[in-house]
Amino acid sequence: NGLLHEEIFVAQPKGFENPQYPDYVYKLKKALYGLKQAPRAWYERLTQYLIQNGYTRGGADKTLFVKKTTKHITVAQV
């Protein structure tokens, strides 16, 4: 699950409602699968990892990552 850069609130899941606070909601710390923000959070987290490990992001295609060494070129398309 990816980290979020915005505040996301969700309703209490059925079967897990707190009877003392039925109108309370949960603030998410990480993206959940099924949310429209999940793919973006996942992409940003993967991007950070690739860049920290020597990959550069493509100029025209932001989903293309390239890592060059003296012997190899590694290409990752996300």
The Cα 41–Cα 47 span in angstroms is 10
The domains of the chain are located at 9-77
The b-or-e profile of 1-33 (16+ CB within 10 A means b, else e) is ebebeeebeeeeeeeeeeeeeeeeeeebeebee
The span from the CA of 34 to the CA of 4, in Å, is 14
**Residue 66, pLDDT score:** 95
Looking at residue 26, what is its pLDDT? 79
| Predicted pLDDT of residue 54 | 95
Tens of pLDDT along the chain (78 residues)? 556 567 777 787 788 788 898 888 877 766 555 556 666 777 888 888 999 999 999 988 889 999 999 999 999 988
